[in-house]
């Protein structure tokens, strides 16, 4: 892939700011504490990486078709995300890939579907990490937290982006090929259901985390709610049984 110096700055800015915004929400505010640093690492690896690779997948295929494709951060939305994070919720739209060139309906559909597919692949990667971590009686707690959050974030990203409305990827894929759209949506929903099952296991092994798990799962990543309860679920992930 080809990147301009301006695009590299926009990618880095979007990744860093959205990661900090989610870290603020998850840890209950900005600080130089270990809790905030942990939340920042989790956010960068899960939310930040999910957004970044989703957009880069669009860019990669567009460039393969000979188009000019560059990511641009939405600075206003990034600032808004940071402000909202202090109030315990985030409406995240860090940026988008702008494409110039010959893009017909089929190419537009293919370019659009690769973003959610990347999120599905990422979700199952985090799922595999979670299983591997839980296979050990004394698995690393931070890795478990990251893996669970990465699974839930990316599965929801895939489902949300495949909704056939507005300017979302799903609308373009649906207009191109309804069979491929159905297959991608079913795959995303299946991934989403895996996250639900893991959330249910979390609740069953520790009922006190029920509200926290529900808040963490059903609201990320475009609209997330913070607060004391879902901060506790970030700090504590129960081992699956």
Q: Could you read off the pLDDT of 158-177 as tens digits, one per residue?
A: 999 999 988 899 999 999 99
Q: Is residue 228 part of a domain?
A: yes
Angle between helix axes 105-134 and 169-176 (nearest 10 degrees) is: 120
The number of distinct structural domains making up the chain is 1
Active site residue 55: yes
pTM for this prediction: 0.81
Q: Is residue 37 part of a domain?
A: yes
pLDDT digits (tens, 9 = 90+) for 202-232: 555 544 444 444 444 333 433 333 444 343 4
Q: Is residue 183 part of a domain?
A: yes
Q: Which residue is listed with tokens 């939310």?
A: 47
- Mapping DSSP to helix (H, G, I), strand (E, B) and coil, where does residue 73 land? strand
Q: Is residue 81 part of a domain?
A: yes
pLDDT digits (tens, 9 = 90+) for 5-50: 999 999 999 999 999 999 998 888 898 888 899 889 899 999 889 9
Q: Is residue 240 part of a domain?
A: no
Look at residues 187, 198, 219, 240 and name the one whose alpha carbon lies nearest to residue 26: 219
Q: Is residue 241 part of a domain?
A: no
| Catalytically annotated residue among 55, 70, 208, 228 | 55
Question: When comparing pLDDT for 56 and 229, which is higher?
Answer: 56
Domain hosting 37: range is 5-235
Q: Is residue 47 part of a domain?
A: yes
Q: What's the Cα-to-Cα distance from 181 to each of 54, 103, 113, 198, 221, rounded to whole Å? A: 17, 18, 8, 26, 22
Alpha helices in the chain (DSSP H): 5-27, 34-43, 49-64, 75-85, 105-134, 141-161, 169-176, 178-205, 210-218, 228-235
- Mapping DSSP to helix (H, G, I), strand (E, B) and coil, where does residue 100 land? strand
Q: Is residue 136 part of a domain?
A: yes
């Amino acid at each position: 892939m080809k990147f301009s110096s301006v695009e590299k700055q926009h990618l880095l800015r979007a990744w860093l700011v959205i990661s900090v915004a989610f870290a603020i929400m998850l840890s209950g505010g900005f600080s130089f504490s270990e809790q905030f640093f942990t939340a920042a690492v989790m956010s960068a690896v899960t939310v930040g990486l999910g957004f970044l690779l989703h957009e880069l997948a669009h860019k990669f295929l567009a460039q393969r078709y000979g188009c000019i494709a560059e990511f641009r951060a939405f600075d206003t939305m990034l600032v808004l995300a940071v402000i909202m994070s202090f109030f315990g919720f985030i409406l995240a739209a860090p940026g988008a890939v702008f494409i110039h060139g010959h893009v017909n309906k089929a190419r537009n559909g293919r370019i659009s579907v690769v973003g959610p597919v990347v999120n599905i692949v990422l979700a199952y990667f985090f799922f595999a990490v979670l299983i591997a971590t839980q296979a050990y009686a004394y698995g690393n707690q931070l890795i478990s937290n990251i893996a669970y959050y990465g699974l839930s974030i990316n599965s929801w990203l895939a489902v949300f982006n495949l909704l056939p409305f507005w300017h979302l990827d799903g609308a373009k894929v649906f207009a191109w090929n309804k069979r491929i759209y159905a297959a991608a949506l079913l795959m995303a929903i299946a991934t989403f259901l895996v996250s639900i099952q893991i959330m249910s296991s979390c609740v069953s092994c520790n009922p006190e985390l029920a509200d926290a798990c529900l808040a963490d799962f059903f609201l990320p990543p475009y609209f997330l709610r913070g607060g004391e309860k879902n901060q506790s679920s970030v700090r504590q992930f129960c081992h699956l049984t």
